[in-house]
Amino acid sequence: MARGTQTVPDWAIGCMDREYLVLDGGPRDPSVAIWIQTESRYIDIRIPQDRPAFPGRRSLDDFSSDELLRLAPQSGDTGICTIEDGVAHWDSEGDRFGFFCDEVAMFPDDGRLAPRRGVLLETQTEASPVAYEEAWVQQPWDHGLVANLTLREAGPAGEVLGVLLVTGRHAGFVERAACDPRRSLQAQLEVVAPDLPAMRCILDCEASYAIRPRIGEPFRIRHSNLPFREGRELEVPTLSPRRLTRRRELPSRRPGTIWRVESWFVQR
């Protein structure tokens, strides 16, 4: 398996770090938003600026019910992006992966894109209920390897447990949904709060962005919906054109799982 069907132009492939969001002419929102794009598959991660860092926590078990509610206004998503005539459409795999919050649910699944010297400027289409502008800054590469991998249960019919995208020195990972992907995290938590086990179950789905300082070093998580994951290593198997040419399955550190290479190529 090499390069998959390309559904976006070359200028959209890579890692984009959002500089700002402006809604309906209001102030700039500098909240975290990361968009990682391969030739077709994307990962989108959003974390509000005012989310606490929660230092000292090691897992969701260390959070109170009020603190768990502070984790709800976040989103992590993956699916297929198609860009035609300057309009991007994001087709989420919402029935299987990721999670969303009320703040993201208001937007449609498409946006108008214009590349401008290392920045992708996104604005609303006619389907949007509100005017907006997002500035996505394209991040530098350390090499051009682009890979789409899935974490699967070991075995011939192994179920997909997560999606990992790598674009050069940047990587994003989204786990299969642990909650009801048809409803926002806030709506689900309101039903079960303050039942701590139920709240933790809803939130137990990782969406993380990691960066590798230099070739040969591990990918370190810079942003995650799970604050205790930030600063830790994100598992990314050793990837090289030579290795990927020879193998479609790679070992995983998680017991009973493997990484399957869905597509890869070198961006020139």
d(CA 34, CA 37): 10
d(CA 107, CA 23): 11
Measured CA angle at 9 (ends 151, 45), to 5 deg? 45
Report pLDDT for 61. Answer: 97
CB of 210 closer than 8 Å to CB of 171: yes
Q: Consecutive 10-residue runs of the chain (268 residues): their mean pLDDT? A: 89 96 93 97 95 96 97 93 96 73 73 94 92 95 90 91 96 89 87 95 95 92 98 96 94 97 93
d(CA 255, CA 268): 36
DSSP letter assigned to residue 2: -
d(CA 250, CA 264): 13
Task: For residue 8, give the nearest of 91, 113, 90, 84 by alpha carbon.
Answer: 84
Inter-CA distances, 23 with 29, 114, 192, Å:
8, 18, 31
CB of 220 closer than 8 Å to CB of 71: no
CB of 15 closer than 8 Å to CB of 138: yes
Cis peptide before 227 (omega within 30 of 0): no
Q: What is the pTM of this model?
A: 0.95
- Three-class secondary structure of residue 169 per DSSP: coil
Residue with tokens 């974390």: 47
Report pLDDT for 131. Answer: 93
Domains and their CATH numbers in the chain: 10-266 (2.40.128.280)
What single string gives the DSSP state of each residue in 12-48?
A: G-EEEEEEEEEETT--EE--EEEEEE-SSEEEEEEE-
Tell me the H-state helices in 70-192: 102-105, 185-192
Residue with tokens 């394209």: 138
